[in-house]
Structure 1
Amino acid sequence: MNILRPDSEVMEFLGKATDLIILNLLCVLCSIPIITIGASFTAKYYVSMKIAKGEEPSAVKSFFKSFCLNFKQITPVWMVELLVLLVLAFDWYNLFFGMARSMPIPMRVVLAVITFLVWSIIYCMFPFMARFQTTTKDLVKASIVMAILNIPRMVLIFIVTFLPYIICAWYIQWGLGIWILVTTVSLYYISKEFDTQLEMITKGEDENESRNNEAC
């Protein structure tokens, strides 16, 4: 049957889905030491954005290639980010269980906005680091700009990122199967979104370089 041919659309779809499942599992396993989360997410998006773009990288080989390549630079950045996230987590804990339970609603909204912006900036760093070789300073600046200029898109990515865990908690008896299915779909969607944004940045840089060459 044609659908069983290696180059058929069905087999290509199944191949991509399998690679995305492998990526999610590798990312979880390699994030267990906590300190490696930055490198793990960077490696995951390095491969998933290639898959979303229609390329066919070796999921495992490409993942560990990116992991090793970016570990040294992204890990110190991730440790600072982790410290910031822990501070925010402590604030939210106080808000629900501690002395901050009487915090006025406007202050709660401010905390929610700050938390979302910090999460967005951190999340933008991983695909940006996966696509470009840049300094840590430029990585942080670019991630801030990328997150702020794409607030509506980051809201959708935020929802899609945490939706699998909400669904798993709701249907805990089928948790693993739901997690595999929903995280596979969400990873593909998020990778598509990030790839589109980073492609626009790449085109913009190429156009600027062309203008500069013409001016010279």
Structure 2
Amino acid sequence: MSEDAVSVSHQNGIAVITLNNPPVNGLGFAVRTGLKQVLDTVADDADVLGIVLTGNGKMFSGGADIREFGKTPPKGTPPLPDLIDRLEALDKPVVAAIHGVALGGGCELTLGCHVRLAAQGTRVGLPEVTLGILPGAGGTQRMPRLIGVSAALDMIVSGKMLPAAKASALGILDRVVDGDVVAAAVAQALELADGGAPVRRASALDERL
């Protein structure tokens, strides 16, 4: 496993997966490979009741690793859309613990989680349009299902970043947390695991379409 890029610890039956690719936890080759390996392990571990996904340092993830643009991925590197689908398909609750920013692919990664908690001061967005591209890892499908077509289209075509309070009001975030967002996410994952209710997958929602 690419331990330098992704690490995992365990708290009361919850696997806390941490992205570690400074300076912005870009979703590069090593991060994606490491995350896939961790997910494959915890998915089959009966002692793991749920999962928390977070980022090391000052932010959750700034999205794609621009240092790797134009480079050929090593064999076996999972595409980000496939990885997000894998994350979302897990039967164990997956809670994103977001701080700093979650942008582009980083935001799309959180949309594959079943619950999204954010620290105060967090900003989220899909700024790909500022680079002349569109979100390519499921954001154009999941975001409208969460917040409606009009609000999602505004985010996608403007590329603007939303503060946590606004993102929560729209429905992108489930809760904005005072204090330790990882601790809150662990508690949320445990509550969901104990309750045994089916997880909520953004790709399956249709009430706002």
* TM-score (normalizing by structure 2): 0.26
Question: Larger strand proportion, structure 1 or 2?
Answer: 2
Question: Larger helix proportion, structure 1 or 2?
Answer: 1
* TM-score (normalizing by structure 1): 0.25
State which structure, 1 or 2, has the greater radius of gyration over its C-alpha atoms: 1
